[in-house]
Amino acid sequence: MHDERRRIEERVERAHTQRIQPAIYAATVPFEVEAWQAPGEPVSFEEAAAARYEPFAMDTPWGPPWGTTWFRMRGRVPAEWAGKRVEAVIDLGFVGGWPGNQAEALVHLPDGRPLKAVNPLNQYVPIGNPASGGEQIDYLVEAASNPDILADGFAAPTPLGDVRTAGDRPLYTFRRADIAVLDEEVWHLDLDLQVLRGLMVHLGEHEPRRHEILHALDRAMDALDLDDVSGSAPAVREVLAPVLAKPAHASAHTISGVGHAHIDSAWLWPIRETKRKTSRTFSNVTSLADEYDDFIFACSQAQQYAWVRDHYPHVWARIQESVKRGQWAPVGGMWVEADGNLPGGEAIARQLVHGKRFFIEHFGIETKGVWLPDSFGYTAAYPQLAKLAGNEWFLTQKISWNQTNKFPHHTFWWEGIDGTRIFTHFPPVDTYNARFSGEEMDRAVRNYSEKGAGTRSLAPFGWGDGGGGPTREIMERARRLADLEGSPKVVVEHPDDFFAKAREEYPDAPVWNGELYLELHRATYTSQARTKQGNRRSEHLLREAELWATTAALHAPGYAYPYETLDRLWKTVLLHQFHDILPGSSIAWVHREAEDEYARVARELEALTAEAVTALGDGGPRVFNTSPYDRAEVVRTAEGAPVYVAVPANGNAPLTDAEPPQPVTVGATPAGRVLDNGLVRVQVADDGTLSSVHDLRADREVLAGRGNLLRLHTDLPNHWDAWDIDKHYRNRSTDLLEADSVTVVEEDPLVGAIRVIRTFGKGSTITQTITVRAGSPRIDIETDIDWHETEKILKAAFPVDVRAPHSSAEIQFGHVQRPTHTNTSWEAARFEVSGHRWVHVGEPGYGVAVINDSTYGHDVSRTVREDGGTTTTVRLSLVRAPRIPDPEADQGRHRFTYALLPGASIADAVAEGYSLNLPLRVAEAAGAPAPVVSVAGEGVTVEAVKLADDASGDVVVRLYECRGGRARGVLRTGFPLAGAQVTDLLERPLDDTDVDLDGDGAVLVALRPFQVLTLRLKRAEAG
C-alpha cells in the first residue's frame, strides 16, 4: 500500500477547520446591543439595571483596563426556529491563546439572576428548544475588561498590573452578539473528528490502529458534501462510527477525570476580580451539571465559596443543589490553596480547620483530601497536619515542573518529618487544566511512573483562572474516550473514588520521605518582602492576641473572648497566604492591597491584645512574654530606657530589674569597634562587616571570614522573574564593602550598638544597627533598607568556622536537614531553599544559628580552607528586584532584623527564634495571673493557646516536639483543671484519648519526634 498519510491528514485538517467547524451554528440573528460603562469599581446589578444605556455596534472597541462595561442585549427567536437548539453566542473580542486573564462576562436575566458566563472558549448561553419560536430574549451582561498581562509572554514589564498605572485605552473589540441555531449533528461530528485526529497522530506509525483511523477519516471526507455540511453530517458520522465503537484494550490505563477550574484567588488580577471570576465559573459549572448527569466537579478553597455565598446568592443556591445531587465535590479542606512552604505551622493548621469546617457547616461534607495542584513546593510537615485534620490523601501536580530532576513517582506514600504517611498522587497528565486532547492522553500514559503496579491516574479537566471551567466539549470528548481502542479509558468520577481505587490496587506504593522540593520558583521565598513580613508579623500577633485574650477570659471578670473578631482576622491572613500572594508572584495591585490589609490586621490585633492585658486591671507596668520559653533579657520602658527582666513562658512579670548580668562594654581597637558582654565579643571593622565574633564561653572564633557580608547579585532568571532565581545569579556579584559611616549609637551597661550606613547602586541606602545586649549571646542586626535596584538580589553572608555535614532549617512544627554538599543533582538543585525563623549549622559539640524575623529564602554552602578547616556559609536572601509582573516590586523601604547566635543548639535556635519574633510587651496591668499553661520538659513547645472554637469555655493548647527526638513533659494550668482530651485539629476528641491527670492536676505529655499534639482542657466549675 502506498503511504498517503500526509495527503489524508492535510485533507482532513482543512475540511475540519474550514468547513465543518464554521457550520456548527446553522443560522444566526444579531442582538440589539446597548452599553453603559460603569465608573470606577464594579457596581451591583440593581445600579447597572437603572443606568442609562447607549446604542453599541459590533466591531467597536470597548473596555479600559480593569473596567466594567454592562451590555443590554435584546433579541427575538425567529418563528421558523421552533424546536431547534437555540443559543446566544457572544464574542467580546477575546485575545491570545489562554482562556483566563482577559475579557470575561456574566449574563443576567432581567430579574437579576445570573444565568451563565461568557469566556473565550465558552461563548454560548443556552436558550433551549423553543416550542413555537418568537420568544423575546433579554439579557444584561456584566463584562470585565481585564488586561491580558501574559500577552507578551512575560517578556517585558507592563504598567497594566495596577489600575493606577494601566491607563484608559480600550483593550477589546466586540465581535459578536447573536442568537444562533446549534446544528447538533455538525457539532457532534466536530467532536468525533477532534477525538479521532488527536488519537491518530499520537499513535506510533507502526500501530495498525493509527492507519485504521486514517483511512476511516479519508472515507468520511468522501461522504462529506462541502456544499451541504449539515445535510451530509449524519452520513459522515456513520462512516466514523465503527472506529469510535472499538473498545479499549483490557490493559488500557484508566484516567479518572475530575471537573476542575483552578482559580487563583489573586494573581494577575486583584482579589476583587477573583470574586467575580468565581461567580462566572461557578455559573458555568452549575449550568453544565444540568446538561450532563455524569458530570462531577471538584472545587477547593472555602474562601471562594464564601465570596459567592455573600455576593451571588442565586449562584450559591445552585451550588448547594449540585452538591446534593453529587455533581459538585468540595475538596481540599483549606481556606485557600495556600503556599506550601511559607505559612507558619499554626497557620496551616487553621487553613485546614477553617476550610473543613466551612464544608461541614454548609454542605454536611467532610472533605477527605488536601487538593493543592499549584503551589511551589510542599513542606514536610504536611502529612502530619493533613492527617490530624482528618484527611486521607494529598494531591498536587506542580512538582512535574522540576527544572533538573524528574520526580520518580506519581502515586506514593508521602512521609513527613514525624513519620506520618499520607497517600499522595501527582497526575501524570502534567496539568490541572486538562481538556482530554490526544496529546494529553498520550502524555498521561507515557509519563505514568507506576506501570506494572498501578493502572490509574487522575486528570483535573477544565479551563481555569477565569477560563470558565469545564466545557461541554470536554465532557463530550470524555464520553468518546470512555472505552476507545488506542486510548486510555476515561471515567468521570469523584476524586475520593479515584484515591480509594488507587490505594486499593497499590497499597504498597513507594515512600517519599521529607519535603517535596520544587526545583523551580525558588525566588518565591524572597520576592515582595513586605508581603512576607506582613504575613510573619500577622501570625505572631494572632498568637499574642489569642494567648492574652484567653488569659483575660479566665481571670478578668466581664471580659468577653473576641471569637468573631479573631475568626475574621485569621481568615484575612489565611486568604493572603494564597500561593500567588504570599510568594510575591502577583501584580502590583495585589501586593499594594496586601500591605494595606496587613497594616489593618496589625492595628486590630494590637488593639485586641492591649484590651486583653488592660482587662487584667490598672496598675504598674508589667512585661508580657508570649513566647513558650522562659526569658531573661533586656526590654525597654515606655521612655526607652533598657531594663533587664526575667519573665516566665506564656506569662508576665513586673517591669523591675532582675539580677544584673555582666555589663556590655563598647571599645575600640586598631581593627575596629568592639562590643563585649562577657558571652560574646564582636568586632565591627571599618568597612562595617563583622571581622570577628568570639564566643567567650567556648573560647573559639565563630567566623571564618567577613560576617554580615552584604553581596549584591545580578538576578535575571531565564523565565518568570518574580518566581525564579537561577543558579547563574551567583556568577556576577558586588560585595558592599564601602561604609559611609560606622558609629557607636548606644553605650549602656545593658545595651551596646554600632550603626553602619552604606549607599550604593541606584541610590539605595542600607542602615544596619548591630546590637549586643547583656545576658545574651545573640547579635542582632536591625536593618533599614531604602531599595532602588532592579533585577538584583541582596544577600547577607555568615561564613562560620564549623564543618557542618548538613544545615537545619525551621519549618512548621519542626525542622528539616539538608546536605551542605552537592554529591547528586538532587542536592545541587537545592541551591536556594526556604526556612522559617532560623537556620542552624553545626559540628559535634558546637553550632551556630542565624535567626530572622521575616525572611524565608537562604542558601548554605561549604568550602575547605587552605589551613584544612571547613567554612560553612549561611546566606540570607534579604530583598530582590524583579520587574515582572510588578515593575516596582520591592522598591522602597524595608525594615527587619536578623541575628547571629553563636554556640547554639537546635533548642537554642528554637527559643531565640520565638524571642526575636515575639518581642516582650510592656503594658499597664495590676493583675498578675499565672500563665494559662506552663510546661516542664525539654523539647515540649507550646505553639498556640486559645479558647475552644465552640465557645464552650474549654482551653485548647497545641504542643509539638521541637528538637527531633522523644520528649516527656508535664503541663500545668493556671486555672482549676477538670479534665483533658487529645483532639484533632478541629478540636474534636480522638477515640479513647482522655488524658489522666496526676495527683497535682497536671497533664503528663509524651511526644514522638516532631509530633503535634492538641489538648482540650476542661475547666473545673467555680466553687
CB 296 within 8 A of CB 494: yes
Tell me, what amino acid is at 1015? L
Secondary structure (3-state) at 430: coil
Q: Annotated catalytic residue: which of 190, 374, 580, 721?
A: 374
Tell me, what amino acid is at 410? H
Burial of 129 (0-12, 13-18, 19+ CB in 10 A): exposed
Helix boundaries (H) for 621-696: none
Dig out the grid coordinates for 690 from the structure.
Answer: 563583622
Cα(8)–Cα(217) distance, rounded to whole angstroms? 8
Cα(555)–Cα(965) distance, rounded to whole angstroms? 36
CB 655 within 8 A of CB 667: no
DSSP string, 712-777: EEE---SS-TTT---GGGGGSEEE----SEEEEEEE-SSEEEEEEEEEETTTEEEEEEEEEETT--
Place of cell 497536671: 1002
Sign of the torsion angle spanned by Cα atoms 518, 519, 521, 522: positive
CB 142 within 8 A of CB 68: yes
Rg of the chain taking only CA atoms, in angstroms: 31
Q: Catalytic annotation on 374? A: yes
Residue among 600, 816, 621, 779 at smallest CA distance from 703:
779
Dig out the grid coordinates for 858 from the structure.
Answer: 537562604
Burial of 759 (0-12, 13-18, 19+ CB in 10 A): middle
Tell me, what amino acid is at 418? D
CB 541 within 8 A of CB 918: no
DSSP string, 340-370: SSSS-HHHHHHHHHHHHHHHHHHHS----EE
CB 425 within 8 A of CB 414: no
Q: How many CA atoms lie within 13 A of 856 on its CB side?
A: 28
Burial of 251 (0-12, 13-18, 19+ CB in 10 A): exposed
Those residues with Cβ within 8 angstroms of residue 656's Cβ, 6 or more apart along the chain or in another chain: 643, 645
Q: Cis peptide before 887, with omega less than 30 degrees from 0?
A: no
Those residues with Cβ within 8 angstroms of residue 264's Cβ, 6 or more apart along the chain or in another chain: 274, 374, 464, 465, 578, 579, 580
Q: Fill in the DSSP letter of residue 880.
A: E
Cα(309)–Cα(323) distance, rounded to whole angstroms? 14
Looking at the DSSP assignment, which residues form a beta bridge with residue 330?
299
Place of cell 553605650: 747
Place of cell 524565608: 856
Secondary structure (3-state) at 176: strand
Secondary structure (3-state) at 991: strand
Cα(1015)–Cα(1023) distance, rounded to whole angstroms? 24
| End-to-end Cα, the chain, rounded Å | 99
Tell me, what amino acid is at 959? L
Cα(948)–Cα(957) distance, rounded to whole angstroms? 9
DSSP string, 913-930: HHHHHS--EEEE----PP
Q: Fill in the DSSP letter of residue 633.
A: E
Secondary structure (3-state) at 63: coil
Catalytic residues: 374
